């Protein structure tokens, strides 16, 4: 039974590694055909993770999933994901602060600074989460996904990137953050942890929509 459970843990770990590879490859690719490959990788990762988590829950319900004295592979994976999320929040703070300095529109600049503050808050809450302290998050008004980012090509962020490219990069980053927190909400069994991650996902979705509106306005002004 232990070997069977270990294999499920390995499948979950593999799914996260595939997701990370897909994200890295998508960011670094130079052509569209590679994008198809990384899309297939990402889809495979979600399917593997979904089936593996389903089997894990079955084993738990059957009493066949014994918690090890050491953290399980699944727990280690979750910790790695949270550490990754903290790193992403730090990068978002730096990105939005830098972008604000390049905006001629004061309202847009302030919006980006406000978003940087919110991402800074996310980082703190995630660190508190690691320390066993579950922060209370205010409910985010239901946000309709504009899906503008779905139709934008992934770009690399360089020191020479234009405002348009930086906005696209930020939109894509928020999409990934939203997906990450949504995944974590599914992984956790405790309702309060699920709700915490879901609220983080909702806030990232709102950030994405705000950036998409800013991007749309920027493109219209440029044209």
- Describe the crossing of helices 2-28 and 73-100 by its angle, rounded to 10 degrees: 20
What value does the mean pLDDT take over residues 55-67? 74
Residue 173, both tokens: 């980053």
| Per-residue pLDDT tens digits for 190-222 | 899 999 999 999 999 999 999 999 999 888 887
Q: What is the DSSP string of 33-59?
A: HHHHHHHHHHHHHHHHHHHHHHHHHHH
| Per-residue pLDDT tens digits for 96-116 | 898 888 888 888 889 899 999
Q: How confident is the model at residue 70 (pLDDT cuts 50, 70, 90)?
A: very low
Distance, first Cα to last Cα, the chain:
63
| Per-residue pLDDT tens digits for 134-191 | 877 767 777 778 889 999 998 887 767 888 888 999 999 999 999 999 999 988 888 9
Q: Coil, strand or helix: which one is 142?
A: coil
């Amino acid at each position: 039974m232990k070997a069977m459970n270990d294999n499920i843990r390995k499948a979950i770990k593999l799914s996260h590694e595939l997701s990370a590879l897909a994200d890295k490859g998508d960011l670094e690719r130079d052509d569209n055909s590679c994008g198809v490959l990384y899309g297939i990788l990402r889809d495979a990762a979600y399917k593997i993770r979904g089936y593996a988590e389903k089997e894990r829950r079955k084993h738990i319900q059957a009493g066949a999933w014994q918690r090890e004295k050491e953290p399980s592979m699944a727990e280690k994976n979750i910790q790695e994901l949270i550490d990754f999320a903290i790193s992403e929040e730090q990068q978002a703070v730096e990105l939005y602060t830098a972008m604000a300095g390049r905006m001629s529109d004061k309202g847009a600049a302030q919006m980006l600074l406000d978003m940087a503050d919110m991402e800074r808050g996310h980082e703190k809450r995630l660190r508190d989460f690691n320390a066993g302290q579950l922060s209370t998050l205010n409910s985010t008004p239901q946000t309709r996904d504009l899906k503008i980012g779905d139709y934008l090509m992934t770009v690399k962020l360089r020191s020479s990137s234009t405002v348009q490219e930086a906005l696209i990069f930020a939109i894509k980053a928020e999409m990934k953050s939203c997906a990450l927190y949504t995944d974590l909400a599914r992984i956790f069994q405790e309702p309060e942890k699920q709700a915490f991650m879901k609220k983080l996902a909702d806030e990232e979705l709102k950030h994405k929509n705000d950036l998409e509106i800013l991007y749309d306005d920027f493109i219209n002004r440029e044209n």
